[in-house]
Amino acid sequence: MTIHIAKYFLTLGKTFSKELGYNNIGNVFDIPKVGKYNIQKTNQMKRRSFIHKSSFFGMALTTMPHSIWPTQEEYTVEELMGKAEIKLHGEGINLRKEAHDAFLEMKKAAYSDGIDLKIVSSFRDFYRQESIWERKYNQYTESDNMDPLDAIDKIIEYSTIPGTSRHHWGTDIDIIDGYRKTTGDVLVPEKFEEEGPFVAFKKWMDENSRKYGFYLVYTNEPKRKGFKYEPWHYSYAPISIPMLAAYRSKNILQLIQKEEFSGKEHFTAGFIRSYIRNNILDINPELL
Ligand SMILES: [Zn+2]
């Protein structure tokens, strides 16, 4: 997809998912926003209300290319939750084809400016996320003797509940500048600030990443809730925007409740709803 088409897609995607989002957010967690719609409505009802709402945007929607229209139907629950085998591209890159190609283009451009875009983490499946969760939960509750609820709050500062990670999608990456030598953990915000080794990387990405479709997800915006600031986590918007739209159209609350992992017994419906609102949806608005 050329940048031109990608931009066109992004503009449409925004209108499209925002409009859809009204029903779908309400469906999942926010009763007041649902208005007259019932929280447990069926797919058929969802479709009907969408069609009803879309009539306000008839002009825009009739001009929408057919390939964009069915986006929400293209991704299965398994795929969205990191449980499906998806085709990944590039050794050490592991992204969907289009995201991979765009990443290589961006990497080439960064090289010529003296920055080596190095992937620390990209695709991660459900089971990998589950093992990260288990490791942290056991460490916090057993070695550190934390109360389970405090342990869960601490985990979700930076790590997701299994099945809810954007890393499941093959569109998101954690990256640093491979040229800069540093010691200890690399994915810490201080390394991207002031005299930190990745300051030049951050500046380059701020100026250029959008040209290649990559956007920061967990921004430094003070009012943002959910996951903490992650100056290393970028998302390939032309695919992740429709994937998030597809994901929020599912009943995420029920999907999480179906899973079994440590600490899950402490999850109330209220907790999951606020997690969806803050950790999944309170992100860079350019990615909604
Ligand atoms: Zn990440």
Q: In whole angstroms, give the CA distance from residue 162 to residue 152.
A: 12
Q: What is the band of 74 on the pLDDT scale with cuts at 50, 70, 90?
A: confident
Contact 115, 200 (CB under 8 A): yes
Q: In whole angstroms, give the CA distance from residue 232 to residue 105.
A: 18
User: What would the pLDDT profile of 139-166 be if each residue is shown by its tens digit?
Assistant: 999 999 999 999 999 999 999 999 999 9
- How many angstroms is it from 63 CA to the middle of ligand 1? 35
Q: In whole angstroms, give the CA distance from residue 167 to residue 162.
A: 10
- How many angstroms is it from 174 CA to the middle of ligand 1? 5
Tell me how many domains the chain contains. 1
Taking the model in full, what pTM does it have? 0.76
Q: In whole angstroms, give the CA distance from residue 88 to residue 273.
A: 31
CATH number for the domain harbouring residue 138: 3.30.1380.10
- How many angstroms is it from 273 CA to the middle of ligand 1? 22
- How many angstroms is it from 158 CA to the middle of ligand 1? 8
User: What would the pLDDT profile of 203-260 be if each residue is shown by its tens digit?
Assistant: 999 999 999 999 999 999 999 999 999 999 999 999 999 999 999 999 999 999 999 9
pLDDT at residue 38, as a whole number: 32
Characterize the bridge pairing of strands 214-216 and 117-121. Answer: unpaired
Contact 153, 281 (CB under 8 A): no
- How many angstroms is it from 123 CA to the middle of ligand 1? 9
Q: Which domain holds residue 12?
A: 3-287
Q: In whole angstroms, give the CA distance from residue 270 to residue 266.
A: 11
Q: In whole angstroms, give the CA distance from residue 259 to residue 9.
A: 34
- How many angstroms is it from 173 CA to the middle of ligand 1? 6
- How many angstroms is it from 256 CA to the middle of ligand 1? 20
Task: Scan for tokens 């306000």, then name that residue.
Answer: 56
- How many angstroms is it from 50 CA to the middle of ligand 1? 32
pLDDT at residue 73, as a whole number: 53
Q: What's the rounded mean pLDDT across residues 63-70?
A: 47
Burial environment of residue 7 by CB neighbours within 10 A (0 to 12, 13 to 18, 19 or more): middle
Range list of H helices, the chain: 3-28, 31-34, 43-54, 58-62, 77-80, 97-112, 126-138, 148-155, 199-208, 237-248, 252-258, 269-275
Residue 160 DSSP one-character state: P
Burial environment of residue 268 by CB neighbours within 10 A (0 to 12, 13 to 18, 19 or more): exposed
- How many angstroms is it from 95 CA to the middle of ligand 1? 13
User: Over 60: is that where the pLDDT of 39 sits?
Assistant: no
Name residues whose C-beta falls within 8 Å of residue 258's C-beta, 6 or more positions apart in sequence: none
- How many angstroms is it from 140 CA to the middle of ligand 1? 21
- How many angstroms is it from 264 CA to the middle of ligand 1? 22
User: What would the pLDDT profile of 178-187 be if each residue is shown by its tens digit?
Assistant: 999 999 999 9
